[in-house]
């Protein structure tokens, strides 16, 4: 017979329940208010409407903002994979002086707050007339994204036995054939995991995008900030409708990410073939 739960277990479950209830209350109040005609001192709004979503769609030019967000995210993912995968392969397969220091350098943009290097980075981009453009936003987001891809892909590549590549070369395979026919199929799961995680990270990146974005290069998270802080009188329901759009966008990306990526195991284990 199982014993009664310990006080520590009750404390943990109580903390988790409190957090979930608090989170549900905060998110629920925003969602409810986005559909409210007015809501002051009552438990429920005085009426319901969807016009705030139409107002946000028109006032903040959401189609253009969503298109910019998609373009920035796709470009950042593509460039991060093109630069990060070869660098991860070099770190996984080669030993050279300063390797540990270089790995630590890759960790810095991920570990420290983005604003600490975002302001100097934005200053440099403004100096070269890149800030305020799509190119500037993409370059700024690449600073943490490429190291992130490298750190995800390096342990994945290390699990691939170098003997597989050596055997292919002994059989006469060229370097191109080894890369395209041997390594590429094995690296696809890791590249997919890294790409999706970078996609989610880029869409939610506020500091670097805010410091380098212009009127025509704002992503959804920056547009949400401006909807709150912009001058003029704006209904809170309209701002909450904008927040719901952003939350739903992130939720869709999260569902897609969890569909392809196991959060407890970013690296796919390579199964050994029979007879090895």
Q: Are 39 and 45 in contact (CB under 8 A)?
A: yes
Distance CA 22, CA 135 (A): 39
Whether 75 and 224 have beta carbons less than 8 Å apart is answered as no
Ranked by mean pLDDT, the top range of 6-10, 215-219, 226-230, 251-255 is 215-219
48 has which bridge partners? 36
The reported pLDDT for the residue numbered 226 is: 83
> Is pTM, for the whole model, over 0.85?
no
Given 3.40.50.300, 1.10.3720.10, 3.30.1050.10, 1.20.120.530, which CATH number is that of 60-265? 1.10.3720.10
- Mean pLDDT of the chain, nearest integer: 83
171-211: pLDDT as tens digits: 877 777 777 788 888 888 888 888 888 998 899 899 999 99
Cβ-contact 193, 266 below 8 angstroms: yes
What is the pLDDT, as a whole number, of residue 270?
41
Q: What is the pLDDT, as a whole number, of residue 52?
A: 87
Over residues 108-126, mean pLDDT: 91
Structure tokens at 218: 């704002």
Separation between Cα atoms, residue 80 and residue 84, nearest integer Å: 5
Q: Per-domain residue ranges for the chain? A: 10-49, 60-265
pLDDT over 70 at 271, yes or no: no
Segment 228-256 mean pLDDT: 80
Q: How confident is the model at residue 273 (pLDDT cuts 50, 70, 90)?
A: very low
Q: Are 53 and 241 in contact (CB under 8 A)?
A: yes
Decide if pLDDT at 241 tops 80: yes
The pLDDT value given to residue 263: 54
Average pLDDT over residues 6-30: 87
> For residue range 34-85, what is the model confidence (pLDDT) as tens digits?
899 888 878 888 888 888 888 888 887 888 988 999 999 999 999 999 999 9
Separation of alpha carbons 79 and 138, rounded Å? 9
């Amino acid at each position: 017979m199982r014993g009664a739960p310990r006080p520590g277990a009750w404390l943990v479950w109580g903390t988790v329940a409190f957090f979930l209830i608090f989170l549900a209350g905060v998110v629920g109040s925003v969602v409810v208010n986005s559909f409210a005609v007015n809501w002051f001192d009552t438990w429920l709004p005085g009426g319901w409407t969807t016009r705030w979503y139409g107002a946000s769609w028109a006032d903040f030019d959401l189609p253009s903002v969503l298109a910019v967000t998609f373009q920035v995210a796709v470009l950042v993912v593509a460039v991060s994979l093109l630069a990060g995968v070869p660098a991860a392969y070099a770190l996984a397969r080669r030993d050279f002086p300063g390797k540990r220091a270089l790995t630590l350098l890759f960790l810095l943009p991920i570990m420290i707050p983005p604003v600490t290097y975002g302001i100097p980075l934005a200053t440099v981009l403004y100096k070269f007339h890149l800030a305020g453009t799509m190119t500037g936003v993409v370059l700024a987001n690449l600073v943490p994204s490429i190291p992130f891809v490298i750190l995800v892909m390096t342990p994945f590549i290390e699990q691939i036995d170098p003997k597989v590549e050596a055997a292919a070369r002994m059989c006469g395979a060229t370097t191109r054939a080894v890369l395209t026919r041997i390594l590429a199929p094995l690296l696809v799961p890791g590249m997919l995991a890294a790409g999706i995680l970078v996609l989610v990270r880029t869409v939610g990146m506020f500091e670097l995008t805010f410091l380098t974005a212009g009127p025509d290069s704002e992503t959804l998270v920056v547009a949400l900030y401006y909807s709150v802080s912009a001058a003029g009188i704006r209904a809170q329901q309209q701002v909450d409708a904008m927040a719901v759009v952003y939350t739903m966008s992130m939720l869709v990306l999260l569902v897609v990410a969890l569909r392809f990526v196991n959060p407890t195991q970013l690296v796919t284990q390579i199964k050994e073939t029979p007879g090895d």
